[in-house]
Amino acid sequence: MPKSEHYLQDFLNYLRIERNLAVNTQQAYMEDLADFWQFLKTRNINAPGDVDHQSLTDYAQDLKKRKMAQTSVARHFSSLRAYYKFMVMEGFLQDDPTQFLESPRLPSSLPKILNVEDIELLLDAIDTNTYLGLRDRALFELMYAAGMRVSEVCNLTIEQVLMDEDIILVRGKGDKERMVPLGGEAKKWLIEYLKDGRPALKKGYFNEGILFLNNRGRPLQRKGVWFLLKRLAEKAGLKKAISPHTFRHSFATHLLEGGADLRIVQEMLGHVDISTTQIYTHLDSSYLKEIHSSFHPRARKK
């Protein structure tokens, strides 16, 4: 194998076509690999076949010196494993040096959620007398009603909103499509936004039918949603650390607390593996223990 040949384009095609990964995930893999090869250059290692366990150990130490978060280190290692698995699978290499590479132990943490009162506090803080306010109310009502990722809601088109059937066609990771019920409040504010808000924001720009637009008539971006939520939380006086994904966590948890079937919640979230959804059952039991501890007369030890 030529020294300079890393088969990166082949690997990218594998991620895109065979594994059907989202564009952002593909980019993260490639950035991790670029960082890895940049490090190897300092060790005069230029070919994938020249990497051994010691090289990987040195790289792990380098990441530690850079004070990289454990979650980021784990992601880098995951990218390396995927790459070398591909190289062996395609016959470009015989041995996989990442076979015994151990990822750092990550603390098990439950996702942060908002209770129903916090959700209502946030939503009621939006001034719906403005075009942008109508957009924001429709946006966050929808994120909570449908449990959508921020990227999914930013890419949502008008055609994906089936008002007559009360259904949203959500395109998730890897362009997989799922159906999620719209819900009464979300539908109400979407109708208001489409009637009065979006036409005022459109401003004649070509936006490919994207549902949520910014104040310049362009598609709303993920960073914009983060900014809007941060400003809204401050206005509502909410002290909790929240993100757009908090709405998704809250959506799932509130459904399970209400008695929804785990498989149905998995389908609405677009999780491939039910084990990913099961974290919300732990969250639910944790919440129940907290309530029991707080209110049961014999729950606290004297």
Angle 210-15-61 from CA coordinates, rounded to 5°: 110
Distances (CA, A) of 19 to 16, 48, 177, 256: 6, 22, 16, 30
**Residue 186 to residue 140: CA distance in whole angstroms:** 8
Helices (H), 90-243: 116-124, 131-146, 150-154, 184-192, 198-202, 222-236
The residues carrying an active-site annotation are 149, 173, 245, 248, 271, 280
**Residue 72 to residue 63: CA distance in whole angstroms:** 9
Q: What torsion, rounded to 10 degrees, do the Cα atoms 242, 245, 251, 257 define? A: -70
Q: Residue 41: which H helix or E strand, with range?
A: helix 23-41
247: helix, strand or coil: helix
Distances (CA, A) of 298 to 12, 117, 288: 58, 27, 15
Query: φ and ψ at 239, to 5 degrees?
Result: -90, -10
